[in-house]
Structure 1
């Protein structure tokens, strides 16, 4: 929607000597004020530019160039109503004097959401014979956008935004909300008066703020951390599902590679670490901003205008390769996303399911400026075509920055829809047709089962069907807390490991209806790796009345193998247990064969035979009531006990 043609026309007019000029009028006095306006405009004094143009039009109200110049200044000032009025007056004098005026007026109507008027003006522009094929294509595209927008308005989606309250929102601008999966922590950006002096004097400054939820209400927000908030601008942050890692944009820092770079910080307890630049793989001499980190911190989406992109601003994707010992991170070479257009794609948001992406674009059919679009990941790993989220989620204004909770039923965004409040953060119920796959979560803390001291542990979530590791996180070093997301529709192995301890494993099946998948709290006590310590291998599976190990058991057995391999003096006993179905003799034989099958697996992997014992107990050591199917399932188990550490 740039008006470079008008701008250069104006500059040309005010730079050529009076004798060479050919204006639509002959009044020397009006032309004098017009040229005076040109001088002010070159000095970027818009107010005096408009004053001189008004004087020119007072002398001669048929001065068409002055109206065009006015419109260009109002465009710069983002005053669309005044811009429209100036264009209308120019067209009333002579609609063919400068055909491009019809195209520009159509753009101005678009910014006001007046789609039929905009469409009419683009069609007027196309009625002129001497227009370039490029401009003709632009006008035709704008007409399609107008039709698209009018159809969206005729078929609105359910949208009832609610201001999230004065604990978060102030008279200043609040935007870029980010949430933990349990929706108990909200981090956002606030633009407020700068309190400290800086090398570049800032009247307003972007900083991070945080609020905690207590009894379903947000507590008054506080500045996030003086280690992260500086006298420069920090903004557009994204936090992992557990709230422990934050990735953000910072501009003008000494360690920056470009004008704005991406950084990250880690929270341990209530303290945030000193931010680290993500380095030259992610950052460049270009502009990098607006990160969105996946729930487990393994995939990063961000925006850059680097030259190797497809458009002006593109969305890129990178995977975490390694957390280095010195605290740095090693990321893969960023991949340019296939949905980027020749225009701008910005503000990516990856949902906790890792299967649903939200972007803002001004290069796709929409309501006029930036619209929000959703994309779904397909079975082949590619992303679907972007789908507009609809009206009135999208309007003729700019929609940037929307996040969706893990449960997938609510979305948070920033808007200036309340007069006098600036940008505020709102929440709304997301229409069902736009909801991502639901994600549950598991949280708690890791501790020593004997001393009750909090532990730092490695936790992983594995898809038992594909054997893919879907999440790999660590508990908090200070308080032992963890949170891991559980996308619906899968069976998972969940394991916790800490050096010097026997690992813990659990099994979660989320194959049922999504509505039944509820978040859970699970505090895990780990046993020291000493003689007598034992665990249940909850992810070792056999067919009914069989001792053949099922393929989905491999993930658990691989963890057991690693433990044995890392502790070469360890001698263990594998025991098998059944429910009370069948005869005692049969159950003893079945349970012993199952225990032996696990030992045989480990021996085949390279564990010495004399380090492994096995025994079957049949149904003699029940841990649950055999009168229920749930109880029987618990009794059918394989256990692991340390005989010698």
Structure 2
């Protein structure tokens, strides 16, 4: 079983190289390690004179170059049986155990070497500190780094590395002394199996979970099993998950697919695939679209996103308009960096055009990995081994500031982070639960777990709106464009399309703002609604809304729910701009339409006053459109006061619905 999933960390040695290429690359790496660690060996100067011991030592080096670690260890054992004070053999042992990731025995070998001569190879103290750090023995690690710094002849570069590790030890010890609440729960046997499950992706309503599973398949040419990464899907029934199913034969192939991210509605999936014929590099990013129950054939995102380098671990924003991903392209700041790109357009045939990726400010000279952008679009989680932490990869949060830049990364704390590598954490739209994979908890290999996110690390809450778009007369499902606009800034917060097959949609509603929500479909009048999420979290509930659209014909009418006036005034408020612009665009695109703008009030006040107020409000809307360039002959206005109530005037909610502006098509000039 591999130490890390293929689509996550194989960049270390290169993905999908031929066996000969891999052999050459390993040989170069191992020779380099030997030359760095044992400069004395390279010069043929040994601390012992026994030819027999030296012979065994050099045989071990040959086995090591041939990637036969066990034979190398056997020969080193024989060398030490001949000369128990052969310090180079212990150092070599430590290096072999390091490559085998056997940290306990690596430490034992280092300690034996130090027993023989504490000053022989100063670097051993730094290496030993790193080994202790891998096991979370921070006090012992710090002591070794400090001892390494006590030597006079060490390079400024190594001195800086040791000081950084001391800082990490101090940070880790402080976090251990002040742990955050962390009670992970295994997500259950419907998803977790004897295989490794990891990299969960969740829809905003938490009813669909897509994850990567690492299993084994028979090699086509040899009688042996090889690791196989594929996507699996689980659906929720109330509070429990149904047994997971393989996602789609059009996506899962004999190659490795993994590290996926889905939009809030679960319709677009972006993922990493390695070794495909249409790939531009070792690993590329692809996307697939779900219509109904069918996933489209994956499409490579192309040369703007993908390159000859390694691109992987995408994270897509809730509405699919912003993509974060990882790459080791040469123009980056570190070894692995996180990049951001924006969707410019979707071309005929489904091909997507993305903006030139931007390297993000928080990247370090080391590695930043596994980005996750929360549905609020205001909160980002990353993994980094270049920031102060517990050792290895730690998870950090960043929040978007008023100037739209990201804050400084904040460590999520212990025991969410440990001395092990933490990668691939996601957070639900509500912001209170996190999902991640781990093999350090009770489970079978890597399993997916969930836990309540500590309050201090929760992102802004995001509610959601979902339903179906349909023809109000025929009840047929409709393909529609839906968007959410911040009424105060006039910014488009989200823009999505409904499912072409079933008309379904899901759009996220970040808390703390007022929104115009609209739905448009060709040949139909648009639908407009208003959502105010300015109140507390408990009142910002997810909602279901089925939208019936009217065909554009004589007599069709809609309520302009986002045209606002001050109390007892007909002056249009600035936050009405978004709604009025959509109406203006409708009239520009349909030059034959003649429309009536009507004003309506609740029953508060006299009938005469309400008629005058409603008429002036309707006239204000017409004046706005005339100022924009719509000919006055196409616009009529009328006030109805409280005579056409659509709700109960005895309630606050009913009165609000009755205070409205509408428009109705009263004529269609065919010659336009």
1:130 aligned onto 2:153: yes
User: Contact between 1:14 and 1:38, CA under 8 Å: does it hold in 2?
Assistant: no
Q: Map of 1:591-610 to 2, 5 A cutoff? A: 591-610=614-633
Task: State the alpha-carbon separation in 2 of the partners of residues 9 and 482 from structure 1.
Answer: 58
1:484 aligned onto 2:511: no
Task: State the alpha-carbon separation in 2 of the partners of residues 524 and 166 from structure 1.
Answer: 38
- Partner residue of 2:423? 400
**1:603 CA displacement:** 1.5
Q: Map of 1:281-360 to 2, 5 A cutoff? A: 281-360=304-383
User: Contact between 1:11 and 1:38, CA under 8 Å: does it hold in 2?
Assistant: no
TM-score between the two structures when normalised by the length of structure 1: 0.97
Q: Map of 1:31-430 to 2, 5 A cutoff? A: 31-194=54-217, 197=220, 203-418=226-441, 421-430=444-453
**1:538 CA displacement:** 0.4
**1:476 CA displacement:** 0.2
Task: State the alpha-carbon separation in 1 of the partners of residues 38 and 326 from structure 2.
Answer: 34
**1:14 CA displacement:** 6.2
User: Contact between 1:14 and 1:39, CA under 8 Å: does it hold in 2?
Assistant: no
Structure 1 SS opposite 2:62: helix
**1:626 CA displacement:** 1.6
User: Contact between 2:480 and 2:497, CA under 8 Å: does it hold in 1?
Assistant: yes
5+ long unaligned stretches in structure 2: 1-11, 13-28
1:633 aligned onto 2:656: yes
Q: 1:419-440 CA distances to partner (integer Å, 9 max, x unpaired)?
A: 6711000000000000000000
5+ long unaligned stretches in structure 1: none
Task: State the alpha-carbon separation in 1 of the partners of residues 312 and 225 from structure 2.
Answer: 20
User: Contact between 2:370 and 2:383, CA under 8 Å: does it hold in 1?
Assistant: yes
- Partner residue of 2:34? 7
**1:15 CA displacement:** 6.3
Structure 1 SS opposite 2:119: coil
**1:418 CA displacement:** 4.0
User: Contact between 1:10 and 1:38, CA under 8 Å: does it hold in 2?
Assistant: no
Task: State the alpha-carbon separation in 2 of the partners of residues 294 and 6 from structure 1.
Answer: 42
- Partner residue of 2:542? 519
User: Contact between 1:6 and 1:68, CA under 8 Å: does it hold in 2?
Assistant: no
Task: State the alpha-carbon separation in 1 of the partners of residues 175 and 79 from structure 2.
Answer: 43
TM-score between the two structures when normalised by the length of structure 2: 0.93
User: Contact between 2:30 and 2:64, CA under 8 Å: does it hold in 1?
Assistant: no
Task: State the alpha-carbon separation in 2 of the partners of residues 345 and 115 from structure 1.
Answer: 23
**Which of 441, 461, 467 is the aligned partner of 1:438?**
461
Task: State the alpha-carbon separation in 1 of the partners of residues 157 and 163 from structure 2.
Answer: 10
1:620 aligned onto 2:643: yes
Structure 1 SS opposite 2:287: strand
Task: State the alpha-carbon separation in 2 of the partners of residues 200 and 531 from structure 1.
Answer: 72
User: Contact between 1:404 and 1:411, CA under 8 Å: does it hold in 2?
Assistant: yes
Structure 1 SS opposite 2:516: strand
**Which of 576, 580, 583 is the aligned partner of 1:557?**
580
Structure 1 SS opposite 2:183: coil
Task: State the alpha-carbon separation in 2 of the partners of residues 614 and 496 from structure 1.
Answer: 25
RMSD: 1.7
Task: State the alpha-carbon separation in 2 of the partners of residues 425 and 411 from structure 1.
Answer: 11
Q: 1:564-612 CA distances to partner (integer Å, 9 max, x unpaired)?
A: 1111111111110011111111110110111111111112212221211
Task: State the alpha-carbon separation in 2 of the partners of residues 232 and 344 from structure 1.
Answer: 26
Structure 1 SS opposite 2:436: strand
Structure 2 SS opposite 1:26: coil
**1:4 CA displacement:** 8.8
User: 1:172 and 1:369, CA in 2 relative to 1: closer, same or farther beyond 3 A?
Assistant: same
User: 1:91 and 1:12, CA in 2 relative to 1: closer, same or farther beyond 3 A?
Assistant: closer
User: 1:177 and 1:281, CA in 2 relative to 1: closer, same or farther beyond 3 A?
Assistant: same
User: Contact between 2:467 and 2:504, CA under 8 Å: does it hold in 1?
Assistant: yes
Task: State the alpha-carbon separation in 2 of the partners of residues 420 and 177 from structure 1.
Answer: 16
User: 1:236 and 1:200, CA in 2 relative to 1: closer, same or farther beyond 3 A?
Assistant: farther
User: Contact between 1:319 and 1:332, CA under 8 Å: does it hold in 2?
Assistant: yes
User: Contact between 2:142 and 2:169, CA under 8 Å: does it hold in 1?
Assistant: yes
Q: 1:436-480 CA distances to partner (integer Å, 9 max, x unpaired)?
A: 000000000001111111100000000000000111100000010
User: 1:119 and 1:557, CA in 2 relative to 1: closer, same or farther beyond 3 A?
Assistant: same
